[in-house]
Structure formats: structure tokens, C-alpha cells
Structure 1
Amino acid sequence: MITTPSMHLPAALLLALSLSFAAPGQQPAPKAKKSSSHPEGFHELKIGDAAPDFDLIGIDEEKHTLKEYAGADLLMIAFLSNHCPTSQAVEGRIKKLVKDYKGRGLRLVAINPNDPASLRPDELGYSKYNDSFPEMKRHAREQDFSFPYLYDGETQKTALAYGCLATPHVFLFDKERKLRYQGRLDDSRFADEATVKETEARNAIDALLEGKPVAVEVTKPHGCSTKWINKRGEVTVDDAKWEKGEVDVEVIDARGIAALRKNDTKKVRLFNVWATWCGPCVKEFPELVATQRKFGLRDFEFISISMDDPKELPGVKAFLEKHNAIVPDKLKPTLKTEGRKGNAYIFSETSSDALIQALDAEWPGPIPHTLVVAPGGEVVFRHNGPIDGDELREKILEHMGRFYVPEPEPVAKP
């Protein structure tokens, strides 16, 4: 018996092959749809496409539409956000661009595309504010925005219509409101203008104002991905992980505290001395955990030092787990390297004098007491008594910064 290759093929595959070579008039097999991470309704604008209309509220509490800017020769739609370090890094250059082209026919409108409920707490580690509309107002006021800043986070219809991939993501339209450039503002994710080498958006503006074609029409935006509404489930999963986490509590003496206080790491350390029997300590504790979660993706750690009797270790552990004082995943490798199980301790010595000398000689004695220490041991912030969580996080952010910072160039050896 003579066999052919087709005799060894599955029937389904033979059917697909026969359909792919169908005779005229026959319908070919349908192609499989490509999977996409974009939400339903996402539309990718192409060069030459018309600017989609919008009807969005701005931080001025007024509604803004595309028609409002009909008199401008060029219109740039810049998707920005409060929380993203890359978006915050370009704010200075956005303001400079608006100033440089004032009176030359360019209007810039910024739009925040993000759903605030789709942001995990640790995604806010570079920002004082989240992406809600009220906090957009505060952020824009503090950063002195000189352009409209609109909110699209409630429905995200505009972000979907424009195909906003990230913040920042800019779209430049000509007088007829046809797309002529889209992508990044420039090639740097850092705030320092000296790091910018390519200025594609500015180049496109200059070309259009001079009546010339745009040399580079499309670039890839870089920054934080758009926080679509359908990502809320990921936040729920993250919350559940924190609620179910376990806490390791260890007994520590003044010598151990002094070693931690020296802080010969790259991390900023938040120390808090507390006790389960201290009412103000218990009341403020959620703010400390919120601070740990906020900076969970950065070089930061929260170290709690309980003044409870070491015999009460199980109760301290139960309290910490109830309040979700777990170690973020980012910290676990560094703790292992340092030979530590976690960030929760009970002070073992009878007198607190040794603890005061080891941790903070300026501590007057009562608890709660909070100390923030930079790498190398410099005190960033200290406070005796109940803390204000917002003030604490603001002080930490002031020290750690709102932007990515480039690594210093290596010094060449002679």
C-alpha cells in the first residue's frame, strides 16, 4: 500500500488546508483573532486620522470640547497623570513647550486617562497624589500648570478613542485636525533636560508651523501604562495578598537596633516605636502601613519596634497581621541578604534608655516615636507623638523624589 503525507494528517487539519485553497466563490476559513491587552473599544489612531471629539471636565470645573480649540493652527493632546514618575518628569518640558510656542498657533490640552481605582497603593510611590479629579486640581496647582488639564478617568472614552497607551502620550494635529505626529514628547524619561537627546514632538511642531512634512511621524511612548477600569480586579487581588500575609516578629536588643539605625543600605528606613497598650500607637498604625504600601516598589522599609513585654510576642504578631504590616515582595531578597526574617521587633531590654541612645538621642521618651533615616544614617524626619500620615509621606517623598534619577556616569580610571 502506498501512503501519502496527507494520510497521516488529522482530519481537522486537512479540512483547514482544503478551505485555504478554496475555489473561487468559496469562503476561506476564518482567521483566528489576535489576542490584545487593550480593553474593548480601544482604537489606534493612524497618521492622517481626524481628532476624535471629547467632552470632558477640566480642573477649572468647566466642560471642554474639541471645538473649543478650533482657532488654533496646531493642537497637541497630551495624556498625562499625577502618579507616573515619567509623566511628572516631563511636566517641566511641557510647560516650557507651551511657553515657547505661545502666540505661534499651538494649543496644548492635557488629559488624565486613568481610573484611580485601578491603581495599586505601591504605584503611587512617586507621587503625592493619586489620579482622582480632586487630586488633579491639587497637583496642577502645585506644579503651576499653564494649560487645561481634563479628567477622563470616569468613562475613559477619550483615551479609548485616541488609543492612549501610557502617560505621557502626545498626539499632534494640524489645522484640519488631522493627526501628524503621535508618541513620546522626547526620548528622556528623566526630569533633567540635559538628558534629552531627541525632541521628536518639538520637531514635528516646527515642521508643521513651517509648512514642511514631519520627518518622524510616529514614536513609541514611554511611561506608565494607562490604568484602565478593567484592571480594578488586580487591585483587589493585591489587597487580598496584604490581608492574608504573615508577619515574623523577632526579639531585638539595643545593639541590634543600633545596627539597623546605622542604615548601611540603599533603603530609606521608617522606624516606629509603639506598643499594643498605647492608644495613640494603635490609632496611628494604619497610617504607617499605608506608608509602607505606598513606597513598596521603592528602596524603602518600615521597621516597627514594640515596647510590649517579650512574653506578649504572639499578641504583637496578631496585631501586626490584623493591620497587614507585612513585608513587600521587593524587600524580601534584601532582608534575606541581611540575615533578617522581617521588619517587626520587640525590644528585649528592661530600660528604654539603651533604646533611646541606639535609635534617637533626641527622643524625649514617650511613645509613639517615629524616625525616618536615609541611607548612611541621616535623619530625614522625626516626630514624637501621633503622626499625620500625609505629612509623613510628604516628607519621605521630598527626600526620595518624584522622578526616576539616572545613574551617575562611571568615572574612567586613568
Structure 2
Amino acid sequence: MNKFAVFLSLALLPALSNAEEPKAKKSSMPEGFHELNIGDTAPDFDLIGIDEEKHTLKDYAEADVLMIAFLSNHCPTSQAAEGRLKKLVKDFKGKGLKVVAINPNDPAALRPDELGYSKYNDSFPEMKHHAKEEGFNFPYLYDGETQKTALAYGCLATPHVFIFDKERKLRYKGRLDDSRYADEATVTSPDARNAIEALLAGKPAPVEVTKIHGCSTKWIGKRQQVAADNEKWEKGEVNIELINAKGVAALRKNDTKKVRMFNVWATWCGPCVEEFPELVATSRKFGLRDFEFISISIDDPETIGDVKAFLEKHNAVVSEKLKPSLKAEGRKGNAYVFHEDSSDALIQALEPSWEGSVPFTLVVAPGGKVIYRNEGGVDGDELREKILDYMGRFYVPELEAQP
């Protein structure tokens, strides 16, 4: 099933402060939310795992130390922690530790642009794909349907870790460690590992509670925000301009920090019309990242009104994040109609290896390096995966340090 059939949501970027430092404000928490304190007993759970088996707390009664780690498929901070969590399981194999991961999120409570760091959403079927591809060596359970377990544990974000002793009393809660990056070398305080080592040695955790960093839990109630965002997107304005070969060449050069996806199309082209929703879905997915979708129509310039109507019908609008950069570049939007008679001029300006048929899609990195090219109609999932492979699934310190 196409992963964009249902619009979903996340707090991904550093700009979204509630994603990075979630706080348990009672006014913003859903009914039934309970904050666990040190010494509290682990709440029971009865959840389906990616193995299609039911899992309960008593299934792990033999473990001397039990870690409940709330994770998600979509969150870059959660994804970055996966490698270290797998290593933790491997390092403590046979030593009395059991790690159980739980996805707390409602997939329908994620906006499309909150999926810009992930291949998958947080649905149960996609959990299976994600865990298999990433080689999870621990159970991965789904709580997104009712979120009873997330409420009982007081899950604020993914990742959020709770560590219990043999009597299942809470002895540590907070972050896995102090890094939100994938590179283990960026960790300076392995808080959860320190707590586990101490508890297995019969000692108290050196630090019992830490702040967390990650993506806020996507409670079912956030579906209303997703609906409001969809409505706002559908009311977005389309600005369309004429462009010549010189203008196309300047855009193709891409002397910005953005990844640019070009699509050459026409309203009279059946395959163009058929693939267009996938291009818009791609634009929305990466709407919070340095990415832009530039459409170039080869319709008769005199029918520019019809082209604009088509773009408006398909909600091919510009994200709020992009608007400042467009203004700085002196552009009104990302929709154009090519107005020179020679198609050769367009080919030479955009991509000389292009044979000239439409639709034609070209994705270029900053500086103009080709990431993806396609003539004849894109596979949306393949397109988005190629873009994600280039842009990455994690935050990267070097990139964040750039102005």
C-alpha cells in the first residue's frame, strides 16, 4: 500500500522546540496521562508485537533489569538511538537485562511534513518493515491504537526510557544518553547504560532522572491538528511565472543549500497528470527540510491560467519554510511555464542527457549534482527513498552548525 495514502504527522526539526524538550504540562497531556516516579511499580501492558504475538509485563519476569524504551519509526532522534540500543542489548546478553521497545504513536496524528526524516510512518505494518530493515534485536510492540501503555508510563517522547529493577520498581527514567545523533562518538553521558550497570551490580542508579530529547508523543487528539494543517495546505496560494532557458539554467545550477526536484510536464500529458500527486506528496513530506519542488510546464504560455488551475487543484503550493528563501532569491513561487519555442534550449539548460519526453523528473543536490532522474513517470516511494538516502535520516552536527 502506498505510504502516502493517509496523511500523518512529528515534531522533527530543532525549530520545533516541543519536539526536542517535551515537558509534562498537565494542560497539554491527554486524559489518563500518568507520570511515573522513581520507586513506582511498572504498569502492566498487553500489546501486539511485530512477531504478531501478544506481549505482557509478566512475559519478562525472569529479567533482573527491564528496560521499556518508547521508540518510533519516524523520529530522527529515535532512529539515531537505534544503533546504540542494539549494541546495548548485545553487550548485556546473558547478564540479566531485557529490553522491550514500544511505539506509542498514533500514525494518523502525524503531519506529512513530520515524516521528512523517515522512510516509514508509525503504523503497525510499517513497524515490521522498519524493524526488519534495521535489524532490531529486541521486541517492538505497538501501542498506537489505544495508547494506554504510553499514558500509564507517562511517555513524553520518542525515545523515552524507563528502567526497572527485579521487583519492577522504577529506578531510572529519561534519555538513553545525551546525544541526539547517530554517531556513538557524540555520546558523553551514557545515562541508561550507567543505570543498568549499577542495578545489575546491586547498586542504585548514579542518576535516576534526566531530561529527554526527541519527538513528542503523537497522541490521538493531535489528529485535529493534522486536519487543520491539511485544510491550510489546501487553501495555499499558487504563484506561477513564465521562464526561459536562462532562468532554468540558473535554477539548475542550484547555488543554494536546498535539494531541488524539477518536474517538466504538461496538462495535456496523461502520465504527467497521473504522477503529479506523488510529486506533491514528496514536496509535503520534505516540507520542513531544505527541499523544494519546481514545476516547469511546457503548455502554451497563453494557457497559463489553465496551468495555474491544475496546480491549485492538486495543491502544488509552497511550504512556509520555503517562502523566505524564495523571497531572498527574488522569486514569487516554484511554478513556471516555459515560454521559448525551442525545446532544445530547455533540454540544454536543465539536463543535456534528457531525451526530451515528458514527464521528466530531475532531483539535484546543492551545487547541481544529480541525485535522481526519471523519464516517463516516477515511482513515488522510490523517488522519496532516493531523496532520503541523500538527505539522511538523522540530525548531523556538521550540518546543524552551518548558518
In structure 1, the residue matched to 2:142 is 151
Q: Which amino acid aligns with 1:239?
A: N
Match of 1:176 in 2: 167
The one-letter amino acid of 1:228's match is W
| Distance in structure 2 (CA, Å) of the matches to 1:410 and 1:323 | 36
Change in Cα spacing, 1:65 to 1:370, as seen in structure 2 (3 Å) is same
Name which of structure 1's ranges 71-80 and 401-410 shifts more when overlaid on structure 2. 401-410
Residues 78-227 of structure 1: pairs in structure 2 closer than 5 A: 78-227=69-218
Which of residues 260, 267, 271 is equivalent to 1:276? Answer: 267
- Output aligned runs, 1:8-407, within 5 Å: 36-407=27-398
| CA-to-aligned-CA distance 1:95-152 (integer Å, 9 cap, x gap) | 0000000000000000000000000000000000000000000000000001100000
Q: Secondary structure at the match of 2:310?
A: helix
Any idea what SS the aligned residue of 1:392 has? helix
Structure 2 CA distance for partners of 1:116 and 1:104, relative to 1, 3 Å = same
What 5-or-longer segments of structure 2 have no aligned partner?
1-24
SS at 2:69 equivalent: strand
In 1, Cα distance between the equivalents of 2:304 and 2:51? 53
Q: Distance in 1 between matches of 2:202 and 2:61?
A: 19
Task: Assess, with a 3 A threshold, how the Cα gap between structure 1 residues 35 and 43 changes in structure 2: closer, same or farther.
Answer: closer
What amino acid is aligned across from residue 151 of structure 1 in structure 2?
Y
Query: Aligned partners of 2:202 and 2:322: how far apart in 1?
Result: 54
CA offset at residue 232 of structure 1?
A: 0.3
Q: C-alpha separation between the residues in 2 aligned to 1:94 and 1:202?
A: 9
Give the secondary structure class of the aligned counterpart of 1:250.
strand
Which residue of structure 1 lines up, in the alignment, with residue 22 of structure 2?
A: none
For residues 205 and 215 of structure 2, what CA distance do their matches in structure 1 show?
26
Q: CA deviation at 1:36?
A: 1.6
Instruction: Say which SS state the counterpart of residue 233 (structure 2) adopts.
Output: helix
Is the partner of 2:397 in helix, strand or coil?
Answer: coil
For 2:10, the equivalent position in structure 1 comes to: none
**SS of residue paired to 1:330:** coil
> What is the identity, as a one-letter code, of the residue corresponding to 1:402?
R
Partner letter of residue 406 of structure 1?
A: P
Aligned length: 378
Over 3 Å counting, the alpha-carbon distance change for 1:163 and 1:64 in structure 2 is same
1:234-280 Cα shifts (integer Å, max 9, x gaps):
00001001111110000000000000000000000000000000000
Q: Using a 3 Å threshold, how does the CA distance of structure 1 residues 104 and 35 change in structure 2: closer, same or farther?
A: closer
Tell me, in whole angstroms, the C-alpha distance in 1 between the residues paired with 2:233 and 2:169: 47
CA shift at 1:407, angstroms? 2.3
User: Amino acid of the residue matched to residue 281 of structure 1?
Assistant: C
3-state SS, counterpart of residue 407 of structure 1: helix
Larger radius of gyration: 1
Q: In the aligned structure 1, how far is the partner of 2:139 from the partner of 2:281?
A: 32
What CA distance in whole angstroms lies between the structure 1 residues aligned with 2:178 and 2:202? 24
- The residue type paired with residue 107 of structure 1 is K
Q: Normalization by structure 1: what TM-score?
A: 0.90
Q: Distance in 2 between matches of 1:170 and 1:222?
A: 11
Amino acid at match of 2:31: E
Q: Matched residues in 2 for 1:110 and 1:409: separation? A: 28
Amino acid at match of 1:42: F
Residues 1:410 and 1:66: Cα distance change in structure 2 (over 3 Å): closer
Q: 1:159 to 1:408 in 2, by over 3 A?
A: closer
Structure 2: how far apart are the matches of 1:387 and 1:136?
25
TM-score by length of 2: 0.93
RMSD after superposition? 1.2
Letter of the 2:315 counterpart:
N
- Structure-2 separation of matches of 1:281 and 1:364: 16
SS in 2 for 1:260: helix
> Whole-Å Cα distance in 2 between the matches of residues 134 and 201 of structure 1?
29
| Separation of aligned partners in 2, 1:97 and 1:361 | 50
Q: 1:408 to 1:129 in 2, by over 3 A?
A: closer
How far did residue 408 of structure 1 move? 6.6
